[in-house]
Every structure is written in structure tokens, then in C-alpha cells.
Amino acid sequence: MKKSKVILLVLIFMAFFIATACSKVDSILPSPTAAPEAIEAVVEEPAEEEAMEDIYDAIEETIQEPPRESADPGQSEKQEQLDRISEGTEHTVMESLYHVTAVAAGYDFTLAIKEDGSLWGWGNNSSGELGLGMWEWPLIPMRIMGNVAYVAAGYGHTMAITTDGVLWGWGWNVSGQIGDGTTYSRFYPTRLMDNVIHVACGRDFTMVVTADGSLWGWGFNANGELGRYGDDEYHLPVLIMENIRYVAAGAHTGFAITTDNQLWGWGWNGSGQLGDGTFDERRAPVYIMSNVAMVSAGFDYTLMITTNGELWGIGNNNFGELGGGAVDFHTSPIFLRENVVYVAAGFAHTMIITTAGELLASGQNENGQLGIPERWPRRQFVYIMDDVALVALGQGHTVAITRDGALYAWGLNHEGQLGNGRTQTHDTPQVIIQPVESLDSHSA
């Protein structure tokens, strides 16, 4: 295309030159008796100089190199992403008097807590994971219970801590992951234990931290998910460790942070996700690293934030889950980046929140779960949106809370797990719950 344009412009130039030469030949060739002044006038720049320069400019523009990227390509990409979000979030499914304060994502369902303590859920409910007492799964948020302070979701079960420290559970229970001594699924919230301050759900097991720092677990244990030798399943709580302040669960791994910020892990280690330098399964806690503030476990990889805001990773990185760029397995912790305040690991994609409130993503994107339309993996972190307070990941979807209390969701939506009343997948953030206060401020 460019060559044809150049040839056309050259032909135009030649025609213009010949026509000009012919029409001006008499004046261009002065008589032998012409005065020196006349000769000097002839050799001056032709009157058609501006027209000639226009043609040269046109040719130059045609054959010039493609425009270079901006000196700050990150800003350009960021603006494109902001435009996508603006275009894709014109309609709000639910206006709320209350901000959303917490969120959790199961395999294909979602839960959110509003600032009034009410717990809401949507998406797949085939095993009672929403605790609504019905088989249908809603495509928009539905209220489950009140006075909830924290919520966690597994493959098909849910755990909630109420404001008085009581743990409630419901959903899929084939391995005893509800912890009520049975293997019957529960379609309504079931009271389990008191004095609970933190809870984490694996694929089909559960772990909690009580007020005295004890770590308890129940459910599936065939790979050492509960950090102990013995039976393959426990249907009631068993003690794992003491002096614990934080717990996280992967698909088949468990992690705990002690009161002095040491990280310990156990369970399946086929991708090196325990970070002990091996691929060996561990049925008892093994030490990983110190000065850890937070840990999040994906399907077969793990991410940690240290007390000084550094992000470290271990395990599978085939899709760029670690955001470090290398396609490899890492059996020992590797440094990834600084200035991180929150991390969430999913099935094969990762979200982090920086100190500036930016949400960045890496890993698998076949369902748009990263929040960008180009559906291929990202091995480096890419910008998604600003002013994010919390984020949670399901198998193929993502939900995030912004600082103004609004809830956004994107990615896979075949079970209605995005909560926007539809089942179409979305590869850019969609607003699901918008506080009225925020709506008023935006329209002001």
C-alpha cells in the first residue's frame, strides 16, 4: 500500500514539474542581451516553492517509519483500559445505601458483605454454596444473612464469621469441609464454633484461627491439606498449629503466618508451591520465610507480601501467574516487585493492589478474568483500574471493591457469578453494586 502511494506521488511530482517547465520556458531562458539583473532574477527560487514543498512533505509522510510508542507506554495502556471500563459500565445492576466492605469468590459463585453487615451472594448454588435454601442460582445479588464480619469461599462451600465471632458454614460437604460431623451438603447457614477471628477455604477443606491463636482444620486431607498425618478426611475440627494470626488455603495446600510473622506451609507440593526447595508432599508444617504480612495461595502457586511491602512468589508460573515474566517452576521464594499492599491468587491468574491503589493483573486470561480484552496470558503485571481496596478471584472470574465502596466484576459468567443479571462473559470490569452516595457524587 505504501509503495503504490509513493509511486503515485512521484508521478504527480513529475507531471507538475514538466508542466511548470513547459509553461515557463520562455521566461526561464533569457535572451543573450538580457541585463545581469534579469539573469539573477531567473536563478532565484521559483514562485512555486511552496507547492513543491507540499509534494515533498506528502512523499515523506508516506514513507516515514511507523509512529513510535509513547515515552511512557504504561500511561497510554492505562488510558485505554480506563476508556474500556467507562464504556462497559454504563448501567448499574444494584444501587445500594451501603458500601461493599468485603468480598469472596468461590469456583463459580460470589459473596459480598455490605457495611451494614449483610451478606449477599450470587452465581452457582447447586450444592447450597449461597446458603439460600433453594436449588436455583441467582444472577443478581441476594441477601443471605446479617451481622457478618468476614466471609471465605471454597470450591463449593462457604464460611462466614459474624460480628460476635461465631463461625457459620454451608454448601458442598462431601469431604466434611463444613465441619459439622457429617458429609451432607447444607443449604442454610449452620453454626459451627465460637471465638473465630479468621477463616480460609481450600477446594474441599477448611481452616480457622481462633482468638487464642490456635489453628484448626477439617475436611479433605489425602494430600496433607490439614497439615497432619492420619486420616484422609476429618469431619470435625482438629488442631494444626498454635500462635497463628493468619491462614490461607490453596486447592490442596495450607499456609499460616505466626504471631512473629513466620510463614509455614503444608500439603500438595507438585509445583513447588510450598517453597521448601522440593516437590515433596508435606503432611506437617514446614518453614518457608520470615517477615511475612500476607499470603495468598492459588491452585498450584503461592504469593506473599512481606512486612515492608515486597511481593514474593513460589510455584507454577506457566501462565505468568507470578507476574515475574519467567516460564518456570520456582521451588523457593523469588522476589517480584515492591509497593504491594494486597494480593489474591486464583486458579491461574493473579491480582495485586499497589500502595497507590492500582489494581494490576497477570496470568491466564482465556475468559477475560484479567479485565482486558486480549485473551492471552500476561507474564508481566498489567494495569486494570484505580482506587481498588480489595479483590477476590474465582476459577475464571474476578471481583473487586473500589475505595468508594462499589463492587466490580469481570471474566467467566456462565453461572451468573458476575451478578449483573446475565450469563455472558465480560473481559472488562462491570459495576455490580454502586452506593447511592457514589452515584450522587459522580452525577454532581
Q: Report pLDDT digits (tens) over 243-288.
A: 999 999 999 999 999 999 999 999 999 999 999 999 999 999 999 9
pTM, rounded to two decimals: 0.80
- Report whether pLDDT(5) > 50: no
Kindly indicate the confidence band of residue 86, based on its pLDDT and cuts at 50, 70 and 90. Answer: low
Distances (CA, A) of 229 to 22, 199, 264: 101, 22, 16
Query: Residues, the chain, total?
Result: 444
User: In the sheet where 329-337 sits, what is the strand order?
Assistant: 292-297, 301-306, 311-316, 329-337
Distance CA 343, CA 225 (A): 22
Reported as a pLDDT band with limits 50, 70 and 90, residue 93 is low
Does residue 73 have a pLDDT over 80? no
Contact 365, 348 (CB under 8 A): no
Which position has the higher pLDDT, 206 or 79? 206
* Secondary-structure breakdown of the chain: helix, strand, coil percentages, each rounded to the nearest 5: 15, 40, 45
Weakest mean pLDDT among 59-68, 259-268, 272-281, 401-410: 59-68
* Mean pLDDT, rounded, of the chain: 84
Name the band, by pLDDT with cuts 50, 70 and 90, for residue 90.
very low
pLDDT of residue 325: 67
38: enclosing H helix or E strand: helix 36-43
Looking at the predicted structure, is the pLDDT value of residue 118 above 70?
yes
Instruction: Give phi and psi for 252, each to the nearest 5.
Output: -140, 25
pLDDT, position 74: 62
Q: Residue 416's closest CA among 138, 156, 171?
A: 138
The reported pLDDT for the residue numbered 84 is 59
- Mean per-residue pLDDT, 351-367: 97
Domain with CATH 2.130.10.30 in the chain: 77-443
Q: How far is CA 216 from CA 72, 128, 157, 158, 212, in A?
A: 49, 24, 17, 16, 11
The HSE-up count of residue 226 (CA atoms within 13 Å, CB side) is 29
- Residue 71's CB is within 10 A of a number of other CB atoms, namely 7
Between the CA atoms of 31, 37, 43 and 46, what dihedral angle is there, to the nearest 10 degrees? -100
The residue-averaged pLDDT of 404-418 equals 97
CATH 3.20.20.70 fits 77-443, yes or no: no
Helix axes 2-23, 49-63, angle to 10 degrees: 170
Pair 171, 215: CB distance under 8 Å: no
Which of 355, 336, 334, 352 lies closest to 344, judged by CA?
352
Rounded CA separation 202/220 (Å): 9
According to the model, what pLDDT value does residue 61 have? 38
Q: Which three cell numbers stand for residue 17?
A: 514539474
**Least confident piece of the model among 15-29, 84-98, 187-201, 221-235:** 15-29
Instruction: Say which residue the cell 515557463 belongs to.
Output: 24
